[in-house]
Amino acid sequence: MNIAVVLKQSPLDDTDTVYQDVGVLVDSDKNVLTEALNLRDKYGGAVTALVLGPAEGKMLLQHAYTMGIDAAYLITDAAFMNSDAAVASKIIAKALKHAGEFDLILFGRQAIDGDGAHVAARTAAHMGLAQVIYSKSIEIEGENIISVKHTEYGDYTYKLKKPCVIMTQNDKRGVRHSKISDIMIAYTDAVIVDVITNSELGISLDELGKKGACLVELGREHLEVKQAQTIWFDGSTKEQAQKLKDLFSKII
């Protein structure tokens, strides 16, 4: 069972003391790392951690090594700077394919910056993989992965074929604590953090950074909302999606 965990590098500033407990590894990523390591211990295999960001991301991966991961990749390149979630998901998808073959790709529930919570879904789309967002438990049954998704309407169980992408929100089982032996090893030359740059990925520069971003700067002017209206869509899920698409096309 080869598991990849995509971590998020968070800013080293005052936000750090407000939103998280230790270092640059956000609590959500500690939870998903714990889940990945527990799955490895139960079913065998290896856990590989990846992070997209500047060179300082190595600190985050060293922290992940203290928790017991088996391998790590730092995805970094000057061309990746100023990339939004849409571009970041494309980079991550390419990097995952470059790093190896994985049965399960895990993302944490959220970061502490844009809080868009859709990089996992976009990455799955780029890779053409099935996905479950907001999973609260994961089990393995042969070549299938069983995920229980939590929603406001109740829990739903999904059976996915390997490989697949899951964004987990499992944050109630307790975080795995680092062992002294792992801490001592993590900050020495004994651990290897492989670096992936755009030289390996080969993404066009026009698709990276601000050039490739789908975000548009709208300025600081705030429009006054004169009247709020609730619109309900009837029909099947497909029909509702088409009606919503038609509505957005009129607004935009």
Cα separation, 168 vs 171, in Å, equals 8
Inter-helix orientation angle 85-99/119-127, to 10°: 50
Q: In what order do the strands lie in the sheet with 154-161?
A: 154-161, 144-151, 130-141, 164-168, 104-107, 2-8, 46-52, 71-75, 193-196
CATH of domain 2-212: 3.40.50.620
Percent of the chain predicted with pLDDT > 70: 83
Q: What is the C-alpha separation between 128 and 139, in angstroms, rounded?
A: 22
How far CA 232 is from CA of 57, 229, 240, 244, in Å, comes to 45, 10, 9, 10
Report the pLDDT value the prediction gives residue 210, as an integer from 0 to 100. Answer: 83
pLDDT band at 166 (very low <50, low <70, confident <90, very high): very high
Q: What are the tens digits of pLDDT across the range 110-125?
A: 655 555 668 999 999 9
Q: Which amino acid is at 177?
A: H
Residue whose structure tokens are 């391998």: 71
Tokens of 67: 């928790």
**Model confidence over 35-86: pLDDT tens digits?**
999 999 999 999 999 999 888 888 889 989 999 999 999 999 999 988 888 8
